[in-house]
Structure 1
């Protein structure tokens, strides 16, 4: 006999998002999915008198691995807007090819409409791939990271220019954009830099979860749960935008069709090695897609980050001590203190320096040696 229920509750500082129970041959198993604002979701599994806690994503991977091993099933948890016949149509950029290689595919969906409601060319996944449908009784579309436009995201902060570290980096990073270029921007400083793109310039922002023509964060009344970026933040799209599947997105990225990738980092080495996805001993959701983003030699890779870590620990180093995302892939480093060009053979060259700082000061806060450009100039800032 099997039973399952979904509930919301409070478990210490964490919310219990889902609670499932199963009884088979006298043995009771329980699974609780808990989440908090500060930590990633965890799964608590109780089998008889034994309780195990692990990251929720690990549980998902185990379930998928077991299903693939014994049943060759694929679970597709993407948000599906409409299903007609057994053909599947995704709302927004939820289009996915994940289920196609599997013998059996299970889809969770929102709404069923009459056969023929959509034109054949609008179908994202043909019915030949669909074997099982799951529809919840009370389907609630969750927004994991509600991000809306704020006044400080559009306007500069007050005070002396450069007093704000993030503002200094953002305004310099914005100068990397060129008219008609295609760019992929990491969340945080890179994405905020897009607020300073000149209205006389067209920059096509690509997002790896399947959109080309990404717009700014929405206003409060523009929020759409189906429109999110790779960081699960709510976004908007611009006129002329297009949606596509994940494999199409990474064909663009690996093929070198994206002119600029701008992302953050934990460490960068003298020769352009990048470490930005994990710190050993700390729980991470996964390596993400940065490894693909920095893999093409035809894409300019710009790192935006604070010059030093907490306690003035070096982030620009002779050799990265954290696991690498990419090797000899970084072309430029932008911090609040300086701008370096990186060369896989010659190393770092200091090309811009923040006004009031000295080369000797930069040497002290940098964990490797570097060359000073004979054309060293004060650090640029975009005019607003």
Structure 2
């Protein structure tokens, strides 16, 4: 503050609060005070982290507090015990409460970090932590990431068949804009929530639309171009033009965020956008897909079209030589796997069909010849044999 630094405007600039988070925060404060940390020091360590990360840390400490209450162990007694033993007991306690392996994995990372901070030990690389990871890995069935690949054309066909932009209500129109920004312009849900119109350049007369995110730093303003498509119902640029006209009528003076919450009372959040898009996918009867799968399905479709990897990384806002971009081509090949398998198994089948066709044709020819012999009169048959005998004598 003496140096004149600006106050953080990020969502994670404040610590989470609530019944569960308060329990975890109180336990953390007591443990850190025993280690000599002040309240300002603890706030310095955690206020600079992401809001969701701090929330998970506090929730994991609340789980630790539940274990301490059941075992009737005080904080002083806990500090005298081995950190690896406490980590193992807390994870075992959680497995008794919840048999979901995914939940245990998500909770294991946070207690490991918090106990490492409290005990001043590196538990992440310890033998105990590795054995816990192996035990959890043996209890899970590995699934490939984004294994439920669906065709992005399902979403596009939905908006093609829906009403025009001017006839859509505010909720459906916002969902359409968010889905098109993810599928055509490759925005992420958190980026859509951070779009600020006062930094953006949207000019209908010049046919320009450049959206900018809320700057976290003075020199870190990210700009994304909005693309135009041939189909007007699938053009995110035209949809944004129409949406901004609505915002100007709703807010005659000025407006800041692009998308608003229900009732236009406050700006929408990443959670709201994810819930809206997930609800849309359920209406389209796409099972097992999240909001982020819209972006993934669109990128996989581009990989199927054979777009070069470097161009795909640039278009989808990925870094060059990204492992994620390489995975898209693997997913695109997986989609064609059944077609390749059918071609492999049908090669021999086609040869057999050709052989059957040839044999059938030969059989028909033989039948026709036999029918001709059967249909001919005895006199004609005798003349035929006499002609053959004469030919034999001539050859001799």
TM-score by shorter chain over 0.5 = no
TM-score normalised by the chain length of structure 1:
0.27
- Bigger strand share: 1
Query: Rg bigger for which structure?
Result: 2
TM-score normalised by the chain length of structure 2:
0.26
- Bigger helix share: 2
